[in-house]
Amino acid sequence: MNAPTLPVAQAKYLLPASLREAADMAAQHPGSFRYVAGGTDVLVNRFQGNEDSTCLIDLGRIPALKGIARVDGHLRIGALETLDRLMKHPLVLADAPMLAEAARSVGAPLLRKTATIGGNVLCENRCLYYNQSEWWRESVGYCLKCNGDICIATGGRNACFSELVSDTAPALIALDAEIEYTEGEAVTRTPLERIYTGDGVAPRNIPPAAIVTALWLPLGRGFTWAFRKLRERQSLEFTSLTTAMTLDSGGRIKIAMAGVDPRPVVVEAAATDDPEALVRKAIKGARAIDNDMFTRLYRREMIGVYLRDSFNTVTAARM
Ligand SMILES: Cc1cc2nc3c(=O)[nH]c(=O)nc-3n(C[C@H](O)[C@H](O)[C@H](O)COP(=O)(O)OP(=O)(O)OC[C@H]3O[C@@H](n4cnc5c(N)ncnc54)[C@H](O)[C@@H]3O)c2cc1C
Ligand code: SF4
């Protein structure tokens, strides 16, 4: 017998034509709105009862959020650009091929045609015990991320370790990307890694009404790179571990990882450093718990496998 379905929360749907209009709409619905870009994260969460905003503000018609161009020594990518466009765009393929590969690793073709880069870096953290139906969560008991008082995965009462699952975020961070967002008249541009808090319940710290406008990638850094993703099915699956590594022309290595912590795990080193020390540092920084299809121990083991392999790739490409 099928379980009876629970009603999905009803919401007012608004379609602004400009950033100003979107900001005004947000101001009229403080604390009760949610921006929507491709909707592939927000709408699934609504159907699972994890998102109940009473107003949805669709950013899809705002021209200022689109465009991919070289500007001031950077590749500027509008927040509304889809992952499908990124993985095929000549400028992305020429200037940031690792980002194209990261975009290609997200979901499946249909999803990538709708999902945006802005939505991807902001997509909600996930956990095996949280991303379930309302019925399921009710039967096991609500956890810290859904107004309960205990983490089901660890039994602890203090912290949620739901995982960052964005695949483009580690690639962007390893490429030293900055995120740009507006709030009213104010425009902020900051290294992408700074927007992640490490708290699984509230994983990002940009103001609630801020609209992400673009990602900025520095050009001319001579990066060699390696991108790896661990998932159960290659065809369509969230990450269980994503690693992105770059080596710039100055000999600096930057690693960013997703899927093993509520925030991106970032490690920086010199190409001359001992790769095993780098692996140990990365594993130590990852607060992986058993809330994923793969065990915590296996994912920690795989960090070493991927990083050793990536180290060989980025250094060999430099020779
Ligand atoms: C079956 C399935 C498989 C998936 N597989 C993957 C995967 O392999 N890897 C992966 O990384 N993700 C995956 N996802 C998650 C999701 O589809 C992607 O992260 C996607 O890129 C989200 O983009 P979106 O435009 O649809 O975001 P939305 O759902 O529209 O929004 C996501 C969040 O970002 C906010 N937001 C979006 N744009 C802006 C903006 N410009 N300014 C301010 N806030 C904004 C929204 O309010 C919301 O909180 C999967 C989802 C599904 C359903
Ligand atoms: S890590 Fe714990 S608190 Fe966080 S979503 Fe999972 S079960 Fe809930």
pLDDT in tens, 16-39: 999 999 999 999 999 899 999 999
292 C-alpha to ligand 2 centroid (Å): 11
Residue 223 to residues 86, 242, 252, Cα–Cα distance (Å) = 18, 18, 9
Q: Is 260 in the pocket of ligand 2 (CB under 6 A)?
A: no
> In this structure, what are the phi and psi dihedrals at residue 240, rounded to the nearest 5 degrees?
-105, -15
Q: Is 34 in the pocket of ligand 1 (CB under 6 A)?
A: yes
pLDDT number for residue 3: 47
Q: Is 106 in the pocket of ligand 1 (CB under 6 A)?
A: yes
User: Whose CA is closest to atom 2 on ligand 2?
Assistant: 151
- CA 19 to chain centroid: 23
Mean pLDDT (the chain, rounded): 95
Q: Is 288 in the pocket of ligand 2 (CB under 6 A)?
A: no
Mean pLDDT of 197-216: 97
The pTM of this model reads 0.97
Q: Is 166 in the pocket of ligand 1 (CB under 6 A)?
A: yes
- Taking the C-alpha atoms of residue 132 and residue 294, their distance in angstroms, rounded to an integer, is 17
Dmax over Cα atoms in the chain, in whole Å? 63
In the chain, the percentage of residues whose pLDDT exceeds 90 is 89
The DSSP 8-state label assigned to residue 265 in this structure reads: E
pLDDT number for residue 235: 84
Question: What number does the ligand 2 atom closest to the CA of 289 have?
Answer: 1
pLDDT number for residue 140: 87
Residue 126, strand partner residues: 163
pLDDT number for residue 205: 96
Position 101 confidence tier, pLDDT thresholds 50, 70, 90? very high
Q: Is 122 in the pocket of ligand 1 (CB under 6 A)?
A: yes
What are the structural domains, with CATH classification, of the chain? 9-62 (3.30.43.10), 66-122+162-318 (3.30.465.10)
Residue 17 to residues 14, 40, 60, 62, 301, Cα–Cα distance (Å) = 10, 21, 8, 5, 48
pLDDT number for residue 318: 77
Position 317 confidence tier, pLDDT thresholds 50, 70, 90? confident
Position 7 confidence tier, pLDDT thresholds 50, 70, 90? low
Q: Which of these ranges, 133-142, 190-199, 276-285, has the smallest mean pLDDT?
A: 133-142
pLDDT number for residue 196: 98
User: Is the model more confident about 184 or about 299?
Assistant: 299
- Taking the C-alpha atoms of residue 313 and residue 316, their distance in angstroms, rounded to an integer, is 5
